[in-house]
């Protein structure tokens, strides 16, 4: 195999994820929790971890700050991924997930990250200009930190000339990326809900989703538009083709992190020069594998390899 193209992921709003358990959540009581588990969290970091789980390599660019940032750096090192950090503003955020063992309910508390200034943003552009290689793949995903402009993805992409940018974002920044297309964007990915929030109407069939994706490609929003249709599978549309990967039925444990595993499979295959069909199949198998694991776990390689042959790609 020729050398794969380098992959960069970017995590500007990482979190130190702490998970624990308690018998019952009762207001006003001291809740005696179990031993906490710590994990590195944040869209880009998850993509890098899933790429590693799938046998690939990437460079994770992460903004860290304060003591929580130092603690997170240790966890990222332990995870075995290659990363570079820049000093983000303030203290890296913490997120807490508490499982209530008597009911099986999961409570998730996400603390806000530090607010970014224009000067802080400048460090990110410098890091991107120094590390992003033309022809490489760059993943922009996850939430934007507070204080960032809604056209941040466009500004990030402009700092990586010649890179094939893969965008997996939501909310207002996604709307902006559709309204004001980012020049030469390689992939725009979203889930079905995000697509429906853009159209303002339900996308009931695979064809309807494909038509919408095709409109976006025609408008120059991206070369490839990828839209998830939940448990049914995933769609990829280019100017030439509309393809759908139907995922095999799996036992659902937690869909948390499935989107990141999907992106990992997609960019890993594309970095290896594989076809869109192969990339969509690997991505869909990785997402399906991720839903079979607990919340804090990404896809397991043995599950991905088992599900991959059962993931059928066909034209829409």
Measured from the CB atom, is 127 or 188 closer to ligand ADP? 188
Q: Which residues are catalytic?
A: 260
Stretch that binds ligand ADP, among 90-98, 125-133, 171-179, 259-267 (CB under 6 A): 259-267
Closest residue to Mg ion using C-beta atoms: 259
Measured from the CB atom, is 153 or 259 closer to Mg ion? 259
Site for ligand ADP in 176-235 (CB under 6 A): 191, 228, 230-231, 234
Rounded CA separation 269/226 (Å): 15
Measured from the CB atom, is 75 or 255 closer to ligand ADP? 255
Least separation, in Å, of the C-beta of 174 and Mg ion? 10
Rounded CA separation 64/145 (Å): 12
Partner whose footprint covers residue 287, from Mg ion, ligand ADP, none (CB < 5 to 8 Å by kind): ligand ADP
User: For strand 37-41 and strand 15-22, is the pairing parallel, antiparallel, or unpaired?
Assistant: antiparallel
Rounded CA separation 57/42 (Å): 18
- 291 counts as binding ligand ADP under rule CB under 6 A: yes
- 66 counts as binding ligand ADP under rule CB under 6 A: no
Residues 50 and 264: beta-carbon distance below 8 Å = yes
CA-only gyration radius of the chain, Å: 19
Stretch that binds ligand ADP, among 12-20, 26-34, 236-244, 256-264 (CB under 6 A): 256-264
Under rule CB under 6 A, how many of the chain's residues touch ligand ADP?
A: 17
List CB contacts of 283: < 8 A, sequence separation 6 or more. Answer: 226, 234, 245, 262, 263, 264, 265, 266, 269
- 257 counts as binding ligand ADP under rule CB under 6 A: yes
Quote the tokens at residue 179: 């309204």
Task: Report DSSP letters for 49-112, one per residue.
Answer: HHHHHTT---EEEEEE-HHHHHHHHHHHHHHT-EEEEEE-SSPPEEEEEEEETTTTEEEEEEPP
| Residues found near ligand ADP in the complex (CB under 6 A) | 191, 228, 230-231, 234, 247, 250, 252, 255, 257-260, 262, 287-288, 291
């Amino acid at each position: 195999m020729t050398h794969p193209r380098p992959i960069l992921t970017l995590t500007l709003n990482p979190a130190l994820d702490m998970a624990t358990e308690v018998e019952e959540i009762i207001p006003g009581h001291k809740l005696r929790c179990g031993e906490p588990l710590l994990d590195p969290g944040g869209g880009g970091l998850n993509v890098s971890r899933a790429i590693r789980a799938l046998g690939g390599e990437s460079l994770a660019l992460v903004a860290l700050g304060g003591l929580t940032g130092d603690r997170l750096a240790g966890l990222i090192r332990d995870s075995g991924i290659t990363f570079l950090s820049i000093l983000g503003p303030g203290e890296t955020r913490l997120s807490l997930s508490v499982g209530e063992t008597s009911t099986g309910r999961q409570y998730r508390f996400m603390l806000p990250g530090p607010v970014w200034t224009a000067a802080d943003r400048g460090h990110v552009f410098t890091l991107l200009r120094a590390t992003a290689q033309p022809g490489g793949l760059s993943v922009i995903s996850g939430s934007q930190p507070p204080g960032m402009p809604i056209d941040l993805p466009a500004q990030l992409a402009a700092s990586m000339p010649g890179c094939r940018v893969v965008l997996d974002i939501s909310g207002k920044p996604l709307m902006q990326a559709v309204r004001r297309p980012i020049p030469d964007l390689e992939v725009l990915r979203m889930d079905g809900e995000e697509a429906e929030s853009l159209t303002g109407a339900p996308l009931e069939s695979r064809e309807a989703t494909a038509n919408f994706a095709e409109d976006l490609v025609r408008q120059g929003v991206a070369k490839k538009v990828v839209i998830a249709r939940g448990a049914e599978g995933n769609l990829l549309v280019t100017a030439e083709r509309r393809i759908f990967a139907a995922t095999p039925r799996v036992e659902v444990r937690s869909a948390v992190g499935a989107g990141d595993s999907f992106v990992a499979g997609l960019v890993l295959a594309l970095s290896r020069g594989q076809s869109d069909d192969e990339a969509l199949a690997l991505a869909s198998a990785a997402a399906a594998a991720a839903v079979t694991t607990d919340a804090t776990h990404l896809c397991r390689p043995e599950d991905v390899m088992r599900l991959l042959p059962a993931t059928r790609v066909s034209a829409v």
